[in-house]
Structure 1
Amino acid sequence: MKSYKLNNQNLSLFKDQVAIPTYDRSQVKAGIVHVGIGGFHRAHQALYTDQLLHEPNANEWGICGVALLEFDQKIYNTLQEQDGLYTLVVKELNGTFTKKIIGSMVETLFAPENPSKVIKKMASVHVKIITLTITEGGYNYNEATGEFDFNNPQILHDLENPLAPKTIFGYLTQALKTRKEQGLAGVTIQSCDNIQGNGHMTEKMLLSYVQQAAPELVSWIENNVSFPNSMVDRITPATAPKDITDLQETSAIEDAWPVVCEPFKQWVIEDDFVAGRPAWENVGAQFAKDVVPYEKMKLSLLNAGHSVLGILGALVGYNTIDEAVHNKNIATFLKNYMDVEVTPTLGTLEGVDLEVYKQSLIERFGNINIKDQIDRICSESSAKIPIFILPTVQAQLQGKKLVKHAAFVLAAWAVYSIGTNEQGSALAIKDALKTTLQATAIESQKNPKAFLEIETVFGNLKENDLFVDVFVKAYENITANGVEKCVIEINNTL
């Protein structure tokens, strides 16, 4: 089968192989600027928007995708060459693949190449919404203090070089300042990252920065910018070389960076948009008055569950999440963690059957076609654990309830951070705090409590004697007996 490069010119060639955009992309205006054009955005918000653009009178809601970091140059170059087009491959539970070319990203910008162009775009009169997938670590939040981290070298750079920023806060500040100076309307800034109260977090962190960088802008932001919370959900593993070759061989599409994902998707959004919004509810999104309870459920169960499987699976020697959850002992440990330690912290969730939801997570984790790499799930754990697992720990400790499972996972993370699994093979640790984690993990071999001294991650948890005792015992047990023997023992004590 002859294959063709994916771009506007060749788009119609694929219509017999896969679903393609049937709207006129040349007539779509970018009413949304999205920062962070990785796999999750392209499997989630960009898909919802693509579906909406097929409806009448929706062509003001195209996306301008912004690659924020130097690291993002490859994805930027790929999307530029493909006119913003890419293929979404949904790996169904029954083993079939559903393929669709997404056309909602009608413009792409590379921030390091031209910061002023990005600022100008964010300040454009046509842009009504700025959405973010900048990862949990991108919000510059210090777990120990609960405040914005002004010691970050990139933040210091932005304060000194406001017209050539490197962080999202520098870009947003200059764009909002331009809007104010030009007498333009406000804008909605919508986080789509895995943080409880992600809108509240975005607002708090941005206003903290603006207070230092441009204090005269604070009141304008408070009156003209909204920050709706949202809950997002779709498992989106990293694209593998095989995904690219399979697509070319089966569908004749030469796509340098397709996106693969599971069939499940969910998007719950607070309806707080100051300058209008797309009718995403027409294509499956849900608008709600209060998203936070649902977000807490998802972060504490799905995202934390991923971290549990990733950390334990990595030490045992697994490469993918489905391998870890198909180990019955690890799966039982995860289910018990969700039942015994997480569920009591969630309260009442209207319209949600938690037992059904938890069972669905085990099934989703076990999708053998997804092959979500464990090193992806474990990457940036220093930013994830304070959001996914520590709120459960704090809530349980406050009620003097069990933390055995969570403490075990955190102890396993301390062992993981040394950098080798139980077979002695090297682990690919990808974390902004890698140096600190490894140094502290090595020190923890003599004194396990030392790992809890990383305040930016654990806050004051080291001061809780109950937790420290359980953590130290778990650490000693893991290093003496290995993960699987330990989880069997824990499972048998319930």
Structure 2
Amino acid sequence: MSVKLSLANLDKLPERVARPNYRQADLKPGIVHFGVGNFHRAHQAVYLDDLFDAGLDHDWAIVGAGVLPADAAAREKLKAQDWLTTVVEQDSGHVAARVTSAMIDYLVPGDVEAIVARLAEPKIRIVSMTITEGGYFIDPASGKFNPESPEIVADAKNPSAPKTVFGLVLAGLARRRAVGTPPFTVMSCDNIPHNGRVTADAVIGLARLFDPELAEWVQHNVAFPNGMVDRITPATTEREKKFLTEEFGIEDAWPVFCEPFRQWVLEDRFPAGRPALEKVGVTFVNDVSPFEQMKIRILNGGHAVIAYPAGLMNIHFVHEAMQEPLIAAFLKKLEHDEIIPTVPPVPGVAIEDYFTLIQQRFSNPKIGDTVRRLCLDGSNRQPKFIIPTIADRLKAGKGIAGLALESALWCRYCHGTTDSGAVIEPNDPNWDRLQATAHAAKDDPSAWLAMEDIYGEVGRSSLFAAAFAGHLNTLWQIGARETLRRFLG
């Protein structure tokens, strides 16, 4: 018989399910987090749960917040189970379930006054976020904040009723400034190069549009530490819910399944204070850049390398893609020949060992990560995970044949059909534009690279354009499988 997840039922859970060693009622809020999705609940919330379990820093509990329509549904699911989450770790030789209780409240999405009031409370000393790579209003080609984004323009015109995360953060900071409360630290937990700087650009850039003095104050008084986060965490489906009920006897409306591996590297810039996360495995450094570049290029870039050929071959799961010899060999060749050489030395890390670990993680048959998830949102991910590597290779006069093939595979995927003719459902916020451009590129490959906001200078490289066009034409002639076979020789 299964047990519905709730505080009242914690003692009724099976013995092999780990549960908090602390009482949720004894926690006090210290962090407001925007974007309470699967990754946050498998990563930041788990580290804090470990810390609270150790009897430490109970005044750093999480208060959830959100701005998207989906956030309201997520809040209702978590509210019905007292903000608890079941986290299931799986790989080929390991499965374990734990219930975490690091979040103690979740503000109603859209309730601007309640969110800003909570942000203004002195006990809130960190505001963190996981709002996806596309949530920062970055111009893909330049990598800089775009103040002309419609949502940003709307917030600048009506700063008292913001609808973006950055508008809400500014409203909270402005209220604290007005009453003399020291500012909180703003901490991005998204997979973006220099995510702290990018977040600062968005917050300060928005402020400049309507209050230059506030912008100046934020620039000189608010900390935005950079960080590298890592844990493979797929979306939750009925498959995961059913497994949790059958294997562990728990009814959880929104469990999280993830790999056992996790990593968090943070710059230690928290003037308002921070929890002692170094005691539960977080690495604090002066400069996160080497770790960040290693992870974003090798892991996130590697995800893109395997995703699009797998999508064109109708492969569903990521571990199944790694079982396809052509895809595994393509990943290995492209990483060794073109990606890893652009990664600088990382303190205490052997890059080859790191890549071996990445291959093992991608091959985890228990995690259930899907190829479609990896293919999602290429218009925001490619400019962060792939195109900077191409740019570095071109500047160094090095070969880009494999990276050009990866880009051609993305273009071919966005055409909207697999090699077998199966329809690929829209899988990008800009799908209509991408699909139309991919259709044009079938006859004129330069149409794809002409997306200046995505490719920028890389798209104007004659060397890259020639390699891209050759690969795209080959993909249309013989398909992804035979193209990989030919490329691998």
TM-score of the two chains, using structure 1 as the length reference: 0.97
Q: Is 1:450–2:450 an aligned residue pair?
A: no
Tell me the alpha carbon deviations over residues 368-412 of structure 1, each in whole angstroms, 9 at most, x when there is no partner: 111211111111111101110011100000011111111101111
- Could you list the structure 1 runs, at least 4 aligned residues long, displaced by more than 3 angstroms after superposition: none
Listed as ranges, the gaps of 5+ residues in structure 2 are none
Residue of structure 1 equivalent to 2:488: 491
Tell me, in whole angstroms, the C-alpha distance in 2 between the residues paired with 1:6 and 1:437: 42
Tell me, yes or no, if the aligned pair for 1:84 and 1:105 is still in contact at 8 Å: yes
CA contact (8 A) 2:91 2:365 kept: no
Is 1:171–2:165 an aligned residue pair?
A: no
The alpha-carbon deviation at position 163 of structure 1 amounts to: 2.4
Q: 123, 128, 141: which is aligned to 1:126?
A: 123
Distance in 2, Cα, partners of 1:59 & 1:351: 32
- Asked whether 1:35 is paired with 2:34, we answer yes
Identity of paired residues, percent? 37
Q: In the alignment, residue 101 of structure 2 is paired with which amino acid?
A: G
In 1, the alpha carbon distance for the partners of 2:121 and 2:92 equals: 43
Structure 1 residue 85 and structure 2 residue 84: aligned?
yes
Aligned partner of 2:101 in structure 1 is 103
Correspondence list, 1:23-62, <5 A: 23-62=22-61
List aligned pairs for 1:349-428, cutoff 5 A. 349-428=346-425
User: RMSD between aligned alpha carbons?
Assistant: 1.2
**Is residue 335 from structure 1 mapped to residue 332 from structure 2 by the alignment?**
yes
Q: Where do 1:171-190 residues align within 5 Å? A: 171-190=168-187
Deviation at 1:15, TM superposition (A): 5.6
Shift of 1:287: 0.6
Q: How many residues were matched structurally?
A: 489
Q: Does structure 1 conserve the Cα–Cα contact (< 8 Å) formed by 2:167 and 2:203?
A: no
Q: Secondary structure at the match of 1:130?
A: strand
* Paired residue secondary structure (2:191): coil
1:178-225 residue CA offsets vs partner (Å, 9 max, x unmatched): 110011011110111101111111112221111113211122212321
Native 8 Å contact 2:194 2:226 kept in 1: yes
**1:89-132 superposed Cα distances (whole Å, 9 cap, x missing partner):** 001231x31000010011112322x1211111112111000111
Deviation at 1:161, TM superposition (A): 2.3
The TM-score normalised by the length of structure 2 is 0.98
Secondary structure of 1:460's partner? helix
Q: Is the 8 A contact 2:377 2:427 kept in 1?
A: yes
**Post-superposition offset of 1:245:** 1.5
For 1:53-72, list aligned pairs within 5 A: 53-72=52-71
Q: 2:137 aligns with which of 135, 140, 147?
A: 140
1:88, distance to aligned residue in structure 2 (A): 0.1
Contact 2:144 2:198 in 1 (8 A): no
Q: How does 1:237-276 map to 2 (within 5 A)?
A: 237-276=234-273
Bigger Cα displacement from structure 2, 7-16 vs 300-309: 7-16
Deviation larger for 471-480 or 454-463: 454-463
- Deviations 1:159-179, CA, capped at 9 Å, x for gaps: 222222221111111111111
**Distance in 2, Cα, partners of 1:279 & 1:184:** 23
| CA–CA separation in structure 1 for the residues paired with 2:151 and 2:201 | 18
Aligned residue runs from structure 1 range 196-345, under 5 A? 196-345=193-342
Helix, strand or coil for the counterpart of 1:473?
Answer: helix
Instruction: Quote how far apart the aligned CAs of 1:246 are.
Output: 1.8
Alpha-carbon distance, 1:460 to partner: 2.6
Q: How far is the alpha carbon of 1:462 from its aligned partner?
A: 2.4
Structure 1 CA distance, aligned partners of 2:305 and 2:152? 32
